[in-house]
Structure 1
Amino acid sequence: MLNLLKKINNFTGKYFALLIIIISAGALYTPNTFKPIVPHIPVLLGVIMFGMGMTLKGEDFKLILKNPKPVLIGATAQFTIMPLIAFVLCYIFKLPPDFAAGVILVGTCPGGTASNVIAYLAKGDVALSVSMTTVTTMLAPILTPILTLLLAGKFIPVSAYAMFLSIVKVILLPILLSIIIKNIFKGKIEAISEILPLLSIVCIMLINAGIVGANSSKIISCALILFVITMLHNTLGLCSGYFIAKFFGLSEEKRRTLSFEVGVQNAGLGVSLATSHFTPMAALPAAVAVVWHLIAAPILAGFWSKRPIKPSNNINKNLEVKNAV
């Protein structure tokens, strides 16, 4: 049974983008089938965060302390470039306040957990990806509400404290719970942790389907403007992450990793926060971002996967992947 789950895990990882497209199309065609998922999005996010916590190892934190430069560069870029790009796009396109708040909220969210899988597919630095996702996720309860207040607060009222509490419940508590459980049971759950990426992928697809199903008519009516803004935001983020890493002299595998860590946000968290603290309209940009990020990033990863990294840039890759996955 475990071997079968591992095979399914490999299959879903390989065809992640295609599966997202299929389930998105299905949610648009039969939205009522997937609408009941929406109230459970915070729980599904919690499951994803729990799985993330189960995969964390002491080596991940040692890596941050041993070589903090890439993590600092990536985290700084994540919480400066993406919110500012979102803010500028809102003014350029003269978005209504609710839409503007939603776009900015996506920009202030931490890196998406799917970026770890995508970095692996792109032959990136998986250990760095895990470290960056961990750091930005831990910073999110403070930085996401503050940045949203500063930028989106110019469009609609924002309660930073209420947002802080939501992120703690959805993000930090599941991670802390998983770390506690892992330390209590230790080796007994090692085999289970190997299939947690599959559970995370299933949860991501369910979140995506629920969001698309609940907002199908609005997504169709506002599709053009929302997709243009989402594509611009995501593309500029992916490019910024790569070239900032290049500017600071990081290796090719680290450039690819920072591209995904900066350009791919936890848009599912954005949907949850927008639904809880703003309006349904504010959740639409995040809903579109969930779909687009999980289509564009795997496509880029597939492109890079066919372009092997030179051995000089890949000395420690096998060891890092073993420690991170």
Structure 2
Amino acid sequence: MGPTTTTRQEHMQESALSTIGLPIALAIIMLGLGLHLRVDDFRRIWREPRAMLIGLGCQVILLPALCFGLVKAFAMPPELAVGMMLLAASPGGTTANLYSHLFKGDVALNISLTAINSVLAIVSIPIIVNLALELFMGQQQYVPLQFRKTLEVIVLILAPVAVGMLINARFPAVSRKMDKPVKIASALILLVLILAILLRERAHMADYFRQAGLAALIFNLASMFIGYYVGRLTRLGEAQSRAIAFEIGIHNGTLAIYLALAVLNNSAMSVPAAIYSLIMFFTAAAFGVWVTRGQKSVAAAA
């Protein structure tokens, strides 16, 4: 089998992944989010605005600024730099809700932040990534590039969430039964996506990990600590601070991967999100143990 045939097969595999696999994966994950949402979660921002605004401020302002600083400090290659900024712009994922539940965070705040962030991402992602494209690659591209792509992203984010919310509101028993299978499917889908990217970029993966691995790790850890301590410094409760930490420290990697592959048509830009998604499961668990033990130590000392 010649190099031309191999390249053609890889291109077909990547095309199938980005046009069929990724939209289905993202839809399932967003459906899972909707199964936990109620209309009241969106109203919460008006009733309890302070925690919501602090969490949104961390997500929309602090994280892109932190990520930009890391990208410049590590002198990352342009495509990986844009991929990091795409990751920073992506909202929190449903996994954040699970970690918040496990480590006694304010899960209702997580759900509300994820919902609002997912809607805001339709505006914030194009702004942040367009700036990154211009700064790092000298291009003035738009994300998404076409009106059709804009509609696709909006539909892929909002339609499954709306369906999940409808199921939760009308058929709560069905919603509860669907919850575990959808969570398992979401985790498996993300794992398959990461493996597909690692396989596709296997020739360059050692360089990518060297160039982006440490930056992704620092970004992940710094995000959680910033979320937690901003919450504490602004006198939010312990549970709310933990919720914000997990929300801004556990991103929707699938959305970042989808935008890199299907919208920007650049597999290298999806690598930071894949690396981050591998790291965050372990670091988030370690962070959760740390804050839980820290709180127990404080309580014992008191």
Query: TM-score category by the smaller chain?
Result: 0.7 to 0.9
Per-residue deviation, 1:244: 0.9
The alignment status of 1:205 with 2:166, answered yes or no, reads no
How far is the alpha carbon of 1:209 from its aligned partner?
Answer: 2.8
Greater shift in the superposed pair: 35-44 or 74-83:
35-44
* CA displacement at 1:181 relative to structure 2: 4.5
More displaced 10-residue stretch of structure 1: 161-170 or 71-80: 161-170
Read off the aligned partner of 1:246 and give its amino acid letter.
Answer: R
Helix, strand or coil at the partner of 1:168: helix
CA spacing shift, 1:268–1:244, aligned 2, 3 Å = same
Partner of 1:104: 85
Contact 2:87-2:251 within 8 A present in 1 as well: yes
Kindly report which structure 2 residues correspond to 1:122-137, keeping only aligned pairs within 5 A, or say none: 122-137=103-118
The 3-state SS of whatever aligns with 2:101 is: helix
Deviations along 1:291-318, one digit per CA (max 9) or x if unpaired, are 11222112322344456679x9xxxxxx
Question: Which residue is equivalent to 1:30?
Answer: none
Give the Å deviation of 1:87. 1.3
Deviates more, 1:92-101 or 1:193-202: 193-202
1:289 aligns with 2:272: no
Give the root-mean-square deviation of aligned CA atoms: 2.5
Aligned to 1:263: 249
SS at match of 1:160: coil
CA deviation string 1:234-253 (max 9, x = no partner): 11111111111111100111
Q: Counterpart amino acid of 1:139?
A: L
* Matched residue, 1:72: 53
Amino acid paired to 2:213? F
Moved more, 122-131 or 212-221: 212-221
Whether the 8 Å contact between 1:145 and 1:164 is mirrored in structure 2 is: no
Q: Tell whether the 8 Å contact from 1:102 to 1:286 is kept in structure 2 after alignment.
A: yes
Whether contact under 8 Å (1:252, 1:309) holds in the other structure is no
Q: What residue number does 1:318 align with? A: none
1:196 aligns with 2:182: no
> Superposed, which structure 2 residues align to 1:1-325 within 5 Å?
39-156=20-137, 157=139, 158-162=141-145, 164-183=150-169, 186-187=170-171, 189-216=172-199, 217=202, 218-278=204-264, 279-306=266-293
Secondary structure of the structure 2 residue equivalent to 1:140: helix
Query: 2:34 touches 2:160 (CA, 8 Å); kept in 1?
Result: yes
Counterpart CA distance in 2 for 1:125 and 1:180 is 23
SS at match of 2:28: helix
239-248 or 161-170: bigger deviation:
161-170
Q: 1:6 aligns to what?
A: none
Q: CA deviation at 1:281?
A: 0.8
CA distance in 1, matches of 2:249, 2:75: 23
Q: 1:60: how far off? A: 2.2
Q: SS of the counterpart of 1:302?
A: helix
**1:55/1:193 contact within 8 Å kept:** no
Q: Is the 8 A contact 2:38 2:168 kept in 1?
A: no
- Provide the secondary structure at the position in 1 that maps to 2:92: coil
Unaligned runs of 5+ in 2: 1-12
Between 200-209 and 86-95, the greater mean CA deviation after superposition: 200-209
Q: Structure 1 residues 263 and 305 mapped into 2: Cα distance closer, same or farther (>3 Å)?
A: same
* Distance in structure 2 (CA, Å) of the matches to 1:194 and 1:230: 35
Per-residue deviation, 1:46: 0.7
TM-score (norm 1): 0.77
The number of residues matched between the two structures is 275
- The percent of aligned pairs where both chains have the same amino acid is 25
Residue aligning to 1:13: none
